[in-house]
Amino acid sequence: MNIETNSVAGVAPSARAKSELDSQSIYRDLKSGIMQGAYPAGSRLPTERALAEHFDAARNSVRKTLNLLEDEGLIIRHVGRGTFVRTASAQDEFTLAELLEARLLFEPNLPDLVVERITPELIGEMEMALEQVRNAESWDQFKEAKYAVHMAIARGSRNRFIISIFEQIIASRRRAGWGRPGQQLSPVLVVREAAYRDNLVILEALRSGDADKAREAIRDYLLRTLSNVSSN
């Protein structure tokens, strides 16, 4: 009797540990896909069975993860229809002004961490994103590239909480369609060049390790953007 009990007790923690690891892996993968647009708003997620097979996990681990994503408001589950990425209404979404005000509270302070921790790879990522800002042929490409510059700055902090906050900001703007101005298909040349120059100042300051200059450049850029939003 004792042997049987000990055997069960020895197996159970291992099973629980695998279930927890599986849930974390599924959560990271699905949330990243939703945040980065791999699963667009309104799209249907794979079934529980398909996800369980894909991740080689038990269906209860998948169900636990989906419950968590539903609690976070990222997905909606309909009995008999499936699980869908939540489509936010205009009233649900944060305004650009709200997001810019929030960014002003923390983003200008990032250079203090970034200049100590940033890697050549992230500098290269910023440089590539800047070129994409300059060469954007559509409004979506322009906005994606601008936010990619600042996402690389956030990643340069190597602080997971900060990175998570910025991922949520980007996800909110994507859900809002990047605030596309009417039927305008591409950003005006002067807008692209202004954004390129402003962000180039930030990049050069970070590349040279000048946290004070980078902080000032980020604050000026955000304040100027917020002013333009408020005046429209």
Check if the beta carbon of residue 229 is closer than 8 Å to that of residue 181: no
pLDDT of residue 88: 57
- Residue at which a domain ends, from 60, 85, 110: 85
Residues 79 and 127 in one domain: no
The secondary structure of 144-183 as a DSSP string is HHHHHHHHHHHHHTT-HHHHHHHHHHHHHHHHTGGG--TT
91 located within any domain: no
Q: Domain check: are 31 and 111 in the same one?
A: no
Same domain, 8 and 66: yes
- Show the domain range for 150: 96-231
Asked whether residue 68 falls in the same domain as residue 177, the answer is: no
Asked if the structure places residue 213 within a domain, the reply is yes
* Same domain, residue pair 136 and 194: yes
Task: Establish how many alpha carbons lie within 13 A of residue 39's alpha carbon, considering only the half-sphere containing its beta carbon.
Answer: 19
> SS3 of 93, please?
coil
Mean pLDDT, residues 203-215 taken together: 96
Inside any domain, residue 11:
yes
- pLDDT of the residue at 180: 55
Q: How far apart are the C-alpha atoms of 183 and 179, rounded to whole Å?
A: 11
Which residue shows structure tokens 């322009």?
A: 142
Residue 144 pLDDT exceeds 70: yes
pLDDT for the residue 145: 92
- Would residue 90 count as lying in a domain? no
Mean pLDDT on 18-42:
86
pLDDT level of residue 177 (50, 70, 90 thresholds): confident
Distance CA 73, CA 67 (A): 10
CA 187, 191, 194, 199 dihedral sign is negative
Tell me, yes or no, whether 127 and 215 share the same domain.
yes
Indicate whether 113 and 217 sit together in one domain.
Answer: yes
State the pLDDT at residue 6: 43
Taking the model in full, what pTM does it have? 0.62
Which of 85, 119, 140 represents a domain boundary (last residue)?
85
Which domain CATH number covers 159? 1.20.120.530
Which CATH number covers residue 8? 1.10.10.10
Distance between CA atoms of residues 215 and 213, nearest Å: 5
Query: Has residue 191 been placed in a domain?
Result: yes
Residues 122 and 177 in one domain: yes
- Could you tell me if 174 and 132 lie in one domain? yes
Other beta carbons within 10 angstroms of residue 32's beta carbon come to 12
**Same domain for 211 and 106?**
yes
In the predicted model, what is the mean pLDDT of residues 131-142? 89
Instruction: Give how many domains the chain has, as a whole number.
Output: 2
Is the pLDDT at 227 greater than 80? The verdict is: yes
Confidence check: pLDDT of 185 > 60: no
Give residue 193's pLDDT band: very low, low, confident or very high (50, 70, 90): very high
Distances (CA, A) of 172 to 115, 177, 224: 28, 9, 21
Q: Determine, yes or no, domain membership for 164.
A: yes
Q: 180, 139 in Cβ contact below 8 A?
A: yes
Domain identity same for 162 and 57: no
Of 85, 108, 136, the residue at which a domain comes to its end is 85
Q: Are residues 36 and 139 in the same domain?
A: no
> Residue 171 has what pLDDT?
83
